[in-house]
Chains A and B, each alone.
Chain A
Amino acid sequence: MLELIMKILIYGTVVSGIWALTASGFSLIFGIARILNFAHGTFFVLSAYMSIVLIKNLGLNIFISYAIAVLFVGVLGVVVYKVMMSPIRHHEVMVIIVTLAFALLVEQVLLLLFGEHGRSVPSFVSGFTEIGGVLITYKRIVVFILAIAVIFLLEFFINRTRTGKMITAASQDIEAAMMVGMDVERLFVITMFVSAILAGFAGLLFAQVFAASPIFAVKSLIYAFAIVILGGLGSVRGSIIASFIVGYLITASITFLGARWAEFVMLVTIIGILVFRPTGLFGVEE
């Protein structure tokens, strides 16, 4: 039993780290701009496929490919914001429709180019070790360390830098931020860039551990959305904590009930929590 618990803790932690990155990016842009970016999962898969093309077709070094792929989705995020979201930002439903349409379009393009079966990414580290009697690959350990490092960087950016503090201030009261002279549009662009980079980086880590697949354009969005609602809309810290709850829940479900029940249990639990706490774990009433 102790070994089972260790397994859930270890494996759940790794998965949680990836989802924490994804969800915090989704939460960030919602928190400041009240934008529900349904193309968030697109950035998640695009970076993975971009890295595969750079590594396998162009023969680039894996780390250089990763850097290019993350920057690419960051810039793409800004372009998507400026072209698709900014003009209709105040029409929430329109934003959802446009970003969802973009996500489905990209998914179809990926299906046409790469097919539905997942694509493996070359591993950046091989081998395995044992922690508390549980085997784990070095790859998963590195992925977790990287995910946590980026989360700390995000925390540092939001709480310690001037731009981060301005984003926090604007997310608390956008009108007050405008009244004191903040360039809110610039903050939206920066936030969108950071949000897309977080999704892109999470996608790269996910593909390292598992594989890149077009179906994760929508699936990762569902995970991110569920986690953000559970954590409390707009609360990055809430999203991170909710990610760990979801990660452990999925791992425990696979361990005790079987793989087919994992997502079902996760979604039912989230709905159950929302019934008793509609604002999520760290959300506040609007």
Chain B
Amino acid sequence: MMRKLLVLVFLGLLLLGCAQPSPPTTPTPTKTPEATPTPPPFEGKKEVVIGVIGPMALPEGTSEKNAAQLAVDEINDQGGILGLPVKLVVGDTKLNPDTAASELRRLATVEKVDMVTGGFSSGVMLAMMEVMAETKTVFLADASSPAHPAKVAEEYDKYKYWFRISQNNGTTFAWDLAAMIDFLREKGVTIEKVYVIRDEHIWTDAVMQALQPELEKRNIEIVADKKVGRGYTEYDQLLLEAKDLQADLIMPILAIAGTGDVLAKSWGELQIPALLAGHDLAAIDYQFYDKTDGLANYEIFIADGGALVTAPPTDMCAKFVEAYKAKYGHYPESHQAYGAYDAVYAYKIAVEEAYKAGEKNPFDPDVVVKYLEKHDTKNPLVLTRTVAWYKNHALVWGDDFVRNWISQWQDGKQYIISPSTVANGELKLPPWLE
């Protein structure tokens, strides 16, 4: 009896354990409108409801919630949107597609949101896009898979409510990584062999697909392509393998794993003779250096979302990070904060532009979509970043818009080291590599 019970329990435990874009043109930015018109009645509408949805046990989710709340508070202080007060409601995806779809449905049908922002990560976003289409909810979204804008392009009428706001399309990450390698080579660093450590997740497949030809063009060999799961921590062995394979560069492409700090710690402790440089989402966190006991020193990362606390690209961004710190006692805990903050303002601007243009109901999702779409490369929104959309609603990539700045941790501070137009620091190599 006991043995049968144990076998059943063990099987149960196993189940529990398992459950687990085109080149840009130079923009002519339009100044963000600030004036709020006199409030007219819109079909009895008494308030504007903004939804924020994300994994609320993760910094990606909490920063979205905090940033959206900050934007809502500021907008209410300025008189709301078209005179209507703005309310924020929160949905928790728990990083689970089913939960996310249910939560979005609740926000759309029960809370009756006018717009939703957030949505980290790609797989979760795909599940939510169906609910978004069904409920016709304007969604200014996080997550980077090219599968999302592809849906907009393929079935525009169904998925047109979706706009990316937080970061660029995953394929552009490959361009940023390739640009990072070019930059390092220009600085005299030899890069011929790359060891990739990446999330076992849909978003990194898109990055790798675009990165491989870029590396081939540069005669760079990928000596290993290692996928790691959520919460993976045994990096020492991978780093030793990279050393054995004589990799010049260890390239993390990590977000979902959530253990970039463990990787950086291992790399710094073992003093692996290869640069640690890539897309490590954890490294954008301003507390990252302390989390690694300073062992992340010299790690090079691309600043996802096009903004860093230490190098804000716009005046609004500089004000935002300080306002965030004043309200919450710390700087944004993840780059998703910039996207969520921008999403609320972008929505406000689109609604107000629609009203000024004489639209009967500027809150109508179809109308809002039309006015968001007007912000292309010739008419970007200058928010915390310079935001513009392609026809497939992916964010425009480029030095004058949103892109992942090549950045580095140096003695406890983050510096943008390339491109030169925004750089506020110079590349420094780890002493064991000099």
Closest CB in chain A relative to B304 CB, distance in Å: 15
Contact (Cβ within 8 A) A222 B262? no
Contact with B along A114-128 (1 / 0, CB 8 A): 011111101100111
Assuming the contacts A116-B58, A122-B293, A128-B270, asked whether A215 and B231 have C-beta atoms less than 8 A apart, the reply is yes
Name the contact of A118 in the complex, choosing from B2, B6, B231 (C-beta under 8 A): B231
Q: How far is the CA of A118 from the CA of B57 in the complex (A)?
A: 12
Contact (Cβ within 8 A) A259 B5? no
Best-buried of B200, B232, B236, B265 by chain A (most CB within 10 Å): B236
The reply to whether the CB of B326 lies closer than 8 angstroms to some CB of chain A is no
Q: How far is the CA of A147 from the CA of B233 in the complex (A)?
A: 19
Contact with B along A127-169 (1 / 0, CB 8 A): 1100000111101100000000000000000000000000000
Contact (Cβ within 8 A) B291 A260? no
The reply to whether the CB of A267 lies closer than 8 angstroms to some CB of chain B is yes
A residues near B2, Cβ cutoff 8 Å: 34, 92, 286
Contact (Cβ within 8 A) A225 B13? yes
Stretch in B148-156, B222-230, B379-387, B402-410 with 4+ CB within 8 Å of A: B222-230
A residues near B5, Cβ cutoff 8 Å: 92-93
CB-CB nearest in chain A for B262: A211
Assuming the contacts A111-B57, A219-B17, asked whether A139 and B269 have C-beta atoms less than 8 A apart, the reply is yes
Closest CB in chain A relative to B275 CB, distance in Å: 17
CB-CB nearest in chain B for A262: B234
A residues near B230, Cβ cutoff 8 Å: 215
Q: How far is the CA of A255 from the CA of B236 in the complex (A)?
A: 11
Contact with A along B1-35 (1 / 0, CB 8 A): 01101100110011011001000000000000000
B residues near A136, Cβ cutoff 8 Å: 236
Contact with A along B335-377 (1 / 0, CB 8 A): 0000000000000000000000000000000000000000000
Q: Which residues of A in the span 248-268 have a Cβ within 8 Å of any Cβ on B?
A: 250-251, 254-255, 258-260, 262-263, 267
Q: How far is the CA of A112 from the CA of B423 in the complex (A)?
A: 37
Q: How far is the CA of A15 from the CA of B236 in the complex (A)?
A: 12
Contact (Cβ within 8 A) A222 B261? no
Contact (Cβ within 8 A) B293 A7? no
CB-CB nearest in chain A for B233: A210
The reply to whether the CB of A213 lies closer than 8 angstroms to some CB of chain B is yes
B residues near A222, Cβ cutoff 8 Å: 13-14, 16-17
The reply to whether the CB of B238 lies closer than 8 angstroms to some CB of chain A is yes
The reply to whether the CB of A11 lies closer than 8 angstroms to some CB of chain B is yes
Closest CB in chain B relative to A46 CB, distance in Å: 17
B residues near A260, Cβ cutoff 8 Å: 200, 227-229
Interface size class of B (residues with CB under 8 A): 35 or more
The reply to whether the CB of A197 lies closer than 8 angstroms to some CB of chain B is no
Contact (Cβ within 8 A) A118 B261? yes
Chain B binding surface, main DSSP class = helix
Contact (Cβ within 8 A) A229 B57? no
Q: How far is the CA of A122 from the CA of B20 in the complex (A)?
A: 28
B residues near A218, Cβ cutoff 8 Å: 13, 16-17
The reply to whether the CB of A187 lies closer than 8 angstroms to some CB of chain B is no
Contact with B along A258-286 (1 / 0, CB 8 A): 11101100010000000000100000001
Closest CB in chain B relative to A173 CB, distance in Å: 16
Q: How far is the CA of A248 from the CA of B282 in the complex (A)?
A: 30
The reply to whether the CB of A175 lies closer than 8 angstroms to some CB of chain B is no
Contact (Cβ within 8 A) B62 A115? yes
Contact (Cβ within 8 A) B10 A225? yes
Contact (Cβ within 8 A) A137 B236? yes
Contact (Cβ within 8 A) B232 A233? no
The reply to whether the CB of B121 lies closer than 8 angstroms to some CB of chain A is no
Contact with B along A79-106 (1 / 0, CB 8 A): 0000000000000110010000000000
Assuming the contacts A118-B262, A120-B291, asked whether A213 and B228 have C-beta atoms less than 8 A apart, the reply is no
Contact (Cβ within 8 A) B57 A115? yes
A residues near B271, Cβ cutoff 8 Å: 128
A residues near B43, Cβ cutoff 8 Å: none
Name the contact of A7 in the complex, choosing from B10, B59, B237 (C-beta under 8 A): B237
The reply to whether the CB of A221 lies closer than 8 angstroms to some CB of chain B is yes
The reply to whether the CB of A3 lies closer than 8 angstroms to some CB of chain B is yes
Name the contact of B57 in the complex, choosing from A92, A112, A119, A221 (C-beta under 8 A): A112
Q: How far is the CA of A117 from the CA of B237 in the complex (A)?
A: 21
Name the contact of A123 in the complex, choosing from B13, B14, B293 (C-beta under 8 A): B293
A residues near B270, Cβ cutoff 8 Å: 128, 135, 137
Best-buried of A117, A122, A211, A233 by chain B (most CB within 10 Å): A117
Name the contact of B240 in the complex, choosing from A111, A134, A226, A259 (C-beta under 8 A): A134
Contact (Cβ within 8 A) A211 B233? yes
Assuming the contacts A11-B236, A118-B258, A118-B259, asked whether A255 and B241 have C-beta atoms less than 8 A apart, the reply is yes
CB-CB nearest in chain B for A96: B9
Q: How far is the CA of A192 from the CA of B282 in the complex (A)?
A: 38
Best-buried of B240, B270, B292 by chain A (most CB within 10 Å): B240
Contact (Cβ within 8 A) A210 B262? yes
Contact with A along B53-69 (1 / 0, CB 8 A): 00101110010000000
Closest CB in chain A relative to B267 CB, distance in Å: 11
Contact (Cβ within 8 A) A229 B6? yes
B residues near A111, Cβ cutoff 8 Å: 57
Closest CB in chain A relative to B282 CB, distance in Å: 7
B residues near A250, Cβ cutoff 8 Å: 234
A residues near B200, Cβ cutoff 8 Å: 260
Closest CB in chain B relative to A99 CB, distance in Å: 11
25 contacts between A and B (CB under 8 A): A11-B236, A15-B234, A115-B59, A117-B282, A118-B231, A120-B265, A120-B292, A123-B293, A136-B236, A210-B262, A211-B233, A211-B262, A213-B231, A215-B231, A216-B231, A222-B13, A225-B10, A229-B10, A233-B6, A250-B234, A254-B234, A255-B241, A258-B226, A259-B226, A260-B228
3 A-B pairs closest in CB distance = A210-B233, A117-B258, A111-B57
